[in-house]
Amino acid sequence: MADYTEGDFHRLLARTFRMHAKRSHGDLAEIGISHGQPRVLHYLSEHDGCIQKEIADTFDLEPATVTDILSIMEKGGLIERKNDPADRRALRVYLTPKGAVTHGKVEAIFARVEREAFAGFTGADKRQAFAVLARLYENLKRAEEGSNKC
């Protein structure tokens, strides 16, 4: 195992992210899923019929990025967008039956990668790793929000 010291956070995080991508992206590509789509599938599995803005806000994405991801997913038959009857300017996003099946396949891929990543970890180790990652995210998000204040 490599020896990491203070100041190596960005290198370790980037290496971990790249290895996660290597372990998952080939399988995702085989089922026609590209970057950005897994999280949208997962979100819609729990929030079917949400508006696009909710997806953008949840994942800290620009609305245009979400529009691009959804357009590709709609062409692939994974989602459908419908006008909101209460607000004609809003589009609601729905998972199609094909999208639901694909979501199940994506979850299986990520479950396998998670098992690989946490091999040899105890349950407590895994919970601690999740807690640390969540805290890192929250700290960085708070710093980002603070830097955007005028």
pTM for this structure?
0.83
- Please list the pLDDT of the chain residue by residue as tens digits (150 residues): 667 777 899 999 999 999 999 999 999 999 999 989 999 999 999 999 999 999 999 998 999 999 999 999 999 999 999 998 888 888 899 999 999 999 999 999 999 999 999 999 999 999 999 999 999 999 998 998 888 775
Say what the pLDDT of residue 150 is: 57
Neighbour tally for 131: CB within 10 Å: 10
Cβ atoms of residues 20 and 106 within 8 Å? no
